Copies of this chain bind each other. A is one copy, B any other.
Amino acid sequence: MVIGLLGLGTIGSGIYEHLQKRGDIKVKKILELKRHPGFEDLETSDFNEILNDPEIDTVIELIGGLEPAHTFTVQAMKAGKNVVTANKLMLSHHMEELLTLAKDMGVQYRYDASVGGSIPFLYNIARHRTADTLTELSGIVNGTTNLILDIMQTDGRDFDDVLKQAQAEGYAEANPAADIDGIDAQCKLIIGSAVAYQQYVRPEDVTTEGIRHISGRDIIYFKQKGWVCRLMVQSQVVGQGVITAYVEPTLVKETDMEAAVRLNNNTISVTGEYFGLHTFQGQGAGKDPTAFAVELGLRDILDGITPRFNPIPEGYAQVDNSKAGHRYYLRTDAAVEVPVETLDKGVYITKPMSVKAMHELAKTLREKDPELFFAGIRE
């Protein structure tokens, strides 16, 4: 196996170090705009040098973002090269095209590292499907927001304060929108659901709310109620070709398993008709854990296990979030009619209502109160 590596950032240097240590997989070229000391002989700014090198059979794409990652991936596959990626955004937006192209070209496409970092989640749900029918996914799949929520809850600090610390320490991006608005989690739910149910999911169909508006004041009420707030993804098969799929802040009990998922860790649960509920936990990001996930993909390609991992979904799921529902915590200065319990002025618990109804209500109320915050309550 001879590698063309796209990107020598944190993950890229991690996988490079792993492979050097092991010695049996050669990195021949690295695509990078800038030169890194000691890598001058490997680095190139021209993707064509990788694309047109017949010795390179596998491309590791760690550029991130939609372009040029998408174009490079398509070109690599069309040139007959395997592709291994950690790019959840690009994959979730081009999943049908990329899986179909990989199949048509007879190349291997491994995206284990795109969901849950090192946690072998996608691989296992693909394997589980060989002996069971999967019906539900849920979990904490964004480490940055979990770190922020965990510190807020533990130290009683406010959102902006903790976010700034996370940014300073490298746990949050300078532009944190993809994490704190739930977009990163949404991408992972799309990919996981496609593998679990064998149906593609359109990003615009996944009702998504992040944690941008949570405040230290909310945490006080959560503690009174014995709740812990986590940003969770959830999808469930509710009919033939119909699923629910949403991302929202969720209040779990202090003794629930998700409350024990601390700092930037992830947890993902899957339900099957036979095996019941399985949960996978671990580090969802970081240099070595993600490089490990990329390397597992390479080892599976070498051992010929990949074709089983890449069944092609049969079409697009119909997403209907009117079919999922629960009570909500709602903090808003706007006038509302839904509450059945008032915790304080402008702080409510609603009656059970659908995910669709609550997210639409929040959108309407935000015209008057942009700082509104809400979270689903897990019963």
Which residues of A are at the interface with B, using a C-beta cutoff of 8 A? 18, 118-120, 123-124, 127-128, 130-132, 254-257, 259-261, 272-283, 286, 288-289, 291-293, 295-296, 298-299, 303-305, 308
Complex-state Cα separation, A272 to B291, whole angstroms: 13
Q: Are A299 and B118 in contact (CB under 8 A)?
A: no
Q: Are B276 and A289 in contact (CB under 8 A)?
A: yes
A18-B131, A131-B299, A303-B308 known; A281 and B278 CB under 8 Å?
yes
Q: Are A257 and B257 in contact (CB under 8 A)?
A: yes
Complex-state Cα separation, A16 to B333, whole angstroms: 60
SS class, residues of chain A in contact with chain B: mixed
User: Nearest-CB distance from A277 to chain B (Å)?
Assistant: 6
What are 16 A-B residue pairs whose CB atoms fall within 8 Å in the complex?
A: A127-B296, A130-B296, A131-B292, A131-B298, A131-B299, A132-B292, A257-B261, A257-B281, A260-B260, A273-B288, A274-B291, A275-B283, A276-B282, A278-B280, A279-B279, A280-B281
Partner of A303, one of B130, B255, B256: B130
Complex-state Cα separation, A66 to B281, whole angstroms: 35
Partner of A282, one of B260, B275, B283, B289: B275
User: Nearest-CB distance from A298 to chain B (Å)?
Assistant: 8
Partner of A255, one of B123, B259, B305: B259
User: Nearest-CB distance from A97 to chain B (Å)?
Assistant: 27
Partner of A118, one of B259, B260, B275: B275
Complex-state Cα separation, A127 to B302, whole angstroms: 13
Q: Are A280 and B283 in contact (CB under 8 A)?
A: no
